[in-house]
């Protein structure tokens, strides 16, 4: 079993490297960096969030998130707005440009996965989705930071 854990560690390393954006989109625009992609996704799922809320959700220092959100603001992906609920902290809202870039990027990622997995039986693709879901849920439970998911994307693991 120890070799299995080493294999998982190594394969997740390779997977993260494969997923790192290193090319440009067909229209010549650079891909979103990983932090922007992740932050935009969370903001679209949860709605406007403050630096403090993002820090809690991601387990990152406010200084890290300030740098990341400043870059996203410069790129026109998010804007700062007053708290819609009347709180003191300003919140980040995804702009229309940010939404369009994320949608474009997500479509490209899904199409890439379809090409890579084109020869796989559908049952194997479903099993991979279910195992990744289970793996991520277990990490979230240990870390105490659940990630919101659209119900339409949840593939329940067998035997859980």
Range 2-116 has CATH code 1.10.3720.10: no
Question: Among 24-33, 93-102, 132-141, where is mean pLDDT lowest?
Answer: 24-33
- Tokens matching residue 149: 């998911």
This prediction has a pTM of: 0.84
Model confidence at 43, pLDDT cuts 50, 70, 90, reads very high
Residue 25 has pLDDT above 90, yes or no: no
- Summarize the confidence of residues 14-29 as an average pLDDT: 67
- On whether the CB atoms of residues 153 and 126 are closer than 8 A, the answer is no
Model confidence at 1, pLDDT cuts 50, 70, 90, reads low
Mean pLDDT of the chain: 89
């Amino acid at each position: 079993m120890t070799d299995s854990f080493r294999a998982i560690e190594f394969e997740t390393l390779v997977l993260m490297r494969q997923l790192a954006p290193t090319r440009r989109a067909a229209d010549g625009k650079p891909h979103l960096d990983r932090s922007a992609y992740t932050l935009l996704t969370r903001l679209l799922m949860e709605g406007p969030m403050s630096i403090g809320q993002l820090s809690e959700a991601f387990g990152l220092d406010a200084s890290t998130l300030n740098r990341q959100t400043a870059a996203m603001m410069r790129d026109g992906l998010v804007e700062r707005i007053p708290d819609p609920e009347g709180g003191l902290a300003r919140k980040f809202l995804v702009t229309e440009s940010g939404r369009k870039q994320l949608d474009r990027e997500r479509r490209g990622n899904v199409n890439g996965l379809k090409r890579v997995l084109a020869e796989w039986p559908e049952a194997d693709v479903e099993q991979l989705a279910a195992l990744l879901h289970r793996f991520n849920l277990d990490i979230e439970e240990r870390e105490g930071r659940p990630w919101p998911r659209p119900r339409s994307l949840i593939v329940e693991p067998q035997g859980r």
